[in-house]
Each structure stands twice: as structure tokens, then as C-alpha cells.
Amino acid sequence: MAVPKRKTTPSRRGMRRSHDKLKKNTFVEDKESGELRRPHHIDLKTGRYRGKQILKAKED
């Protein structure tokens, strides 16, 4: 059975885990409506993506 030869220090353990954190969601301001949306996603309120109408606009 494989057994570690030395104890892993808290510092080394922390350095290994430093890449496991969750990243915050990024948002960009839409050029036309001025509302926030995720980059590379369709704006669900207007139904537009990169200046083209993809979906029907959401009606209130």
C-alpha cells in the first residue's frame, strides 16, 4: 500500500488547493439595452446575439 513518506504541511496543502476556488460570474453591459448579460450568451429580453435577432423578444 502506498503511504506518504512525509506529512504535507498546511502551506503546501493550501498552495495545491489555491486553484480549486470558484470564479465569480462575469457580466458585460449590453450595447443596445444597457442591461447586464453574460458574455457570449443571447440576451433573453431582446432575443439578440451579436446584433442579430435570434429569438422572439420576451413580452411583458
Burial string for 35-47 (b: 16+ CB within 10 Å, else e) reads: eebeeeeebeebe
pLDDT tens-digit profile of 19-57? 999 999 999 998 877 889 899 998 888 888 888 888 887
Alpha-carbon distances, residue 47 vs 27, 37, 38, 42, 59 (angstroms): 17, 12, 13, 6, 11
Which residue has cell 446575439? 49
Q: What is the per-residue pLDDT for 60?
A: 58
Which pTM does this prediction carry?
0.54
